[in-house]
Structure 1
């Protein structure tokens, strides 16, 4: 299998793994079980996925994956809008505002993970 094909396969796998609604899952775990484990899962995912994505593939797959994850989380968050407690649980933010805030906030560890992967990749090549 060629290097380009391997990069594409890894990239598609990364996008598929990003399709999990990490922010929604974190918020749901917090709301339902008063547990912060969902946020921890999101942090681990936002460290591992971009690290391996940058190490073995191209950054475009990470961008696409992040966008898809936010869209899927947005869908599920809006599906919970029937629950009045859900809307007020995350005050002073609305659930959609928290989605945007968390998505932007969790870009920071992704950038660090990508930078680390690039340094490691350059070290191995050079």
Structure 2
């Protein structure tokens, strides 16, 4: 593992409840801007995590992000946003979006691996 503190920064980045914030943005403004920020945030964190050899922090970060988002969504139920995401509840949508966000993260990880292989190949020649 290179520079362990980068792994901690990645984990701290995942501690931001991205999915909850995306749903909140959708609920308040009826726009998809929150989902775009979610996509960018998760992709960048996954790329950086893999680039610096901290894939374990990326996995742990996804789990932390899910539970932090669930916690905040539970706090929001008092404001009546649960019916907004019909037919799913907010918690079900958080799970669905969290699972879907694994796809761009996997792509970012594969890109980071590819770039590392290219860098190694250049060093060999």
Q: TM-score band (shorter)?
A: over 0.9
The reply on whether 1:107 has 2:102 as its aligned counterpart is: yes
Task: Decide whether the 8 Å contact of 1:10 with 1:57 is kept in 2.
Answer: no
Q: Which TM-score applies when normalising by structure 2?
A: 0.93
Q: Residue by residue, what CA displacement relative to the aligned partner does 1:69-113 show, whole Å, maximum 9, x if unpaired? A: 1111000000011123x0100001110100000000010000000
Task: Give how far 1:5 is off.
Answer: 5.5
CA deviation profile, 1:43-72 (whole Å, cap 9, x unmatched):
111211111110113210001111111111
What are the ranges of 5 or more consecutive residues in structure 1 without an aligned counterpart?
A: none
TM-score, with structure 1 as normaliser? 0.92
Among residues 19, 30, 36, which one is paired with 2:15 in the alignment?
19
Alignment of structure 1 residues 52-91 onto 2, 5 Å? 52-84=48-80, 86-91=81-86
C-alpha separation in 1, matches of 2:53 and 2:76? 35
Distance 1:17 1:96 in 2: 21
- 1:44 corresponding residue in structure 2: 40
TM superposition outliers: structure 1 runs of 4+ over 6 Å: none
The SS at the match of 1:20 is coil
Number of positions where the alignment pairs a residue of Structure 1 with one of Structure 2: 121
Stretches of structure 2 that go unaligned for 5 or more consecutive residues are none
